[in-house]
Structure formats: structure tokens, C-alpha cells
Amino acid sequence: MTDNENAVIRLSVGADERGLRLDRFAADHASELSRQRVKQLILNGAVTVNSQICTDASRKMRPDEMVSIAVPPLEPASYGAEEIQLDIVHEDQDLIVVDKPAGMVTHPAPGHSSGTLVNALLAHSQGQLSGIGGVQRPGIVHRLDKDTSGLLVIAKSDRAHKGLSEQFAAHGADGRLRRTYHAVVWGQPERRVGKISAPIGRSRTNRRKMAIVEEPEGRHATTHYKIVNSFKYGENEAASLLQLNLETGRTHQIRVHMASIGHPLLGDKVYGSGFKSSARRLPTMAQSALTELDRQALHAAVLGFGHPVSGENLLFESPLPADIEALISALGSVS
């Protein structure tokens, strides 16, 4: 087969598969293709049933029917590959786990068309990436904010993308997914162990921000936290180091939830802007460390999931980066 030829997948419908939708049947058997990708191929006329083109994804299957899927070569991504050094924690033929530095955008977007994690992965994994939507690109199943550091898993194959997406959609309800963050917040929450359940949606007053928004506009979100350490300045609790676990994965979830209970993250210019006076009251060394941080004090420290192909349970840990360590050290020195 040349680079310009279609790969053909041929499938036979079993007796126990009577009544299955065409798109589900094809996606179940062609593990390298996501259901969305299968739907796209069906609409494009690339799928035949008994040698007849079928563009109806909901068509019900009958035993002994023959389904053929013509999969065209992957198109190159529209954004460029860039040689950017990555901290790779784990890699195999299906996925890659990286420790993302603060300041790196996960995916190209307006204003950030280069220098992103995806640009780096395109260079690192040339010819070994999934074909999501027919385009060769990394399978991004979750993201970290630009100024949040820590662990990310990215799919390199369609079958891995499918399996990882299911785990992240379940938000750990099936016991496979684990996400733990460390954050430094202003003050000290009333309870040493707590749970914040509040729906998150786009702010009605500032569309660039997220906010607590009642459903259905807001989406259910739950964050669990535990105080690991607290730091006093004089008689007041200046800040606390928290361990946080996500039950859901909404945009800016930890930052919005902690701000909603009056304890935004140190260095958060979007959700903690009202604490500038608190920063000025810190001792000089702590003020300097906070200035050097120049971002929200948030790190994705632990990531665990079931390998979407082998089924092996994987768990990765990332130590606190130097800038957050320096902040904690400066805060601790004045406790």
C-alpha cells in the first residue's frame, strides 16, 4: 500500500450483533478508530455494507452482513512540529506521559499557535500519532492551564485515545482514574478536610473567566481538599498547602472552587486579584518568592489510570517544582 492508498478494514456481523448501529458495530471491532472517526467515515461514503455505500450511521446490522471501511491516509496537522525539550515520564506505543512545565500551553489556540505541548509532541512522535478526525495529531484527553505545572497523559493511538477518553469522562467513578494536585492558598480553610460541590460555568459578567453558575448553565463539579501544612505570619494564618483530588474535571475547577470559599491560590491573577494587599503584608522573603513564582501555585502531582490497551494500572508522581518549593520554604521560614 502506498501513502496515497486507503487501508481497508473488513468485518463480518455475528449472530449476537443483530440490531447494533453501524457506527457502534464498526467502532467496537475497529479498535484503532474512535466512534467519532467512524461516523465521519460513514458520512464521507467510506463505509460499505454488502458492497453498497452506506451513509446512515444508525443503520441496524443483520447477521452475516459484510462491512468494509476504507480508511484514508492521515492528513498532517495544520500546526507545525517544533523541537522543544519535554520531560517524558513514560512512553510506549500507545501513550506518553509528560511533566509539563509552567508557562507551556497544552494545545494551539488563538494567540498561542506555537511553543505548545502539541507542537513539541508532533516533533517528538512523528509518524506515531493517532488519527483523530483523520488528522495525525496527539490525542489530548485532558489539559492543564498554561501556568499550572505537572502530569499529563496523551494518546498516541486511536485505541488509546478512545480508552483514555472513557476514563476521563467517568472522572474516576470506575476507580481507574486518580488525579491529585498540590496548591498553596491564601489563609486556612475552616476544616482540615473538606469537599466543595458547586457547578462551574462561563462567567456571565466576564466571558474569559469561569464562575460558580447554577445548573443547567453550570456543570456539576466536586473538589476534595486536605490541609497538608499551614503558615502563620504573626497571629494570622497567612497561607496553607493543600492536597486536592478531583471528582470532576472542569475548566479552572480548583482555582474557581478555592476562590469561592475565600481561599484563592497564591499567584492567581484571575481569581485571586483581591488578595494583593495580603501579598504586601507578607515578609520580604515570602513576597520575593511569590513575585518569582509569577503564576498560580498549582501543581498536578499524581496521575493514575488504567492503560487503555494492556489494562495495567499505572501511577505516576511528580515532585513540586522549584518555584513552588521556594514559596513554601519562604512561607515556612516565618511561621
- Listing DSSP states for 134-156 in one string gives GEE--EE-----TT-EEEEEEES
Residue 279 CA to residue 184 CA, distance in Å, equals: 13
| CATH number belonging to the domain at 7-73, selected among 1.10.10.60, 3.10.290.10, 3.30.70.1290, 3.30.1330.90 | 3.10.290.10
Q: Is 111 left (phi over 0), alpha (psi -120 to 50) or beta?
A: left
What pLDDT sits at residue 34? Answer: 72
Beta-strand pair 149-155/139-140: antiparallel
> What's the grid cell of residue 300?
498536578
Where are the chain's structural domains? 7-73, 76-170, 178-332
What pLDDT sits at residue 2? Answer: 38
> How do residues 96-140 score in pLDDT, each as one tens digit?
999 999 999 987 776 677 888 988 988 888 766 655 554 455 778
According to DSSP, residue 94 is labeled S
Give yes or no: 145 in active site. Answer: yes
Choose the catalytic residue: 145, 147, 158, 268: 145
Helix 284-293 × helix 322-332 angle, to 10°: 160
According to DSSP, residue 41 is labeled H
Positions in the chain whose pLDDT score sits under 50: 1-4, 134-135
Residue 235 has a CB neighbour count (10 Å cut-off) of: 5
> How do residues 201-249 score in pLDDT, each as one tens digit?
988 888 789 999 998 889 999 999 999 999 987 767 799 999 999 988 8
Residue 275 CA to residue 255 CA, distance in Å, equals: 14
b/e per residue 90-109 (b: at least 16 CB within 10 A): ebeebbbbbbbebebbbebe
The two domains 76-170 and 178-332 share their CATH topology (first three levels equal): yes
Please choose, from the candidates 30, 21, 12, 6, the residue with its C-alpha nearest in 3D space to the C-alpha of residue 56.
21
Confirm or reject CATH 3.30.2350.10 for domain 76-170, answering yes or no: yes
Confirm or reject CATH 3.40.350.10 for domain 178-332, answering yes or no: no
Residue with cell 476507580: 175
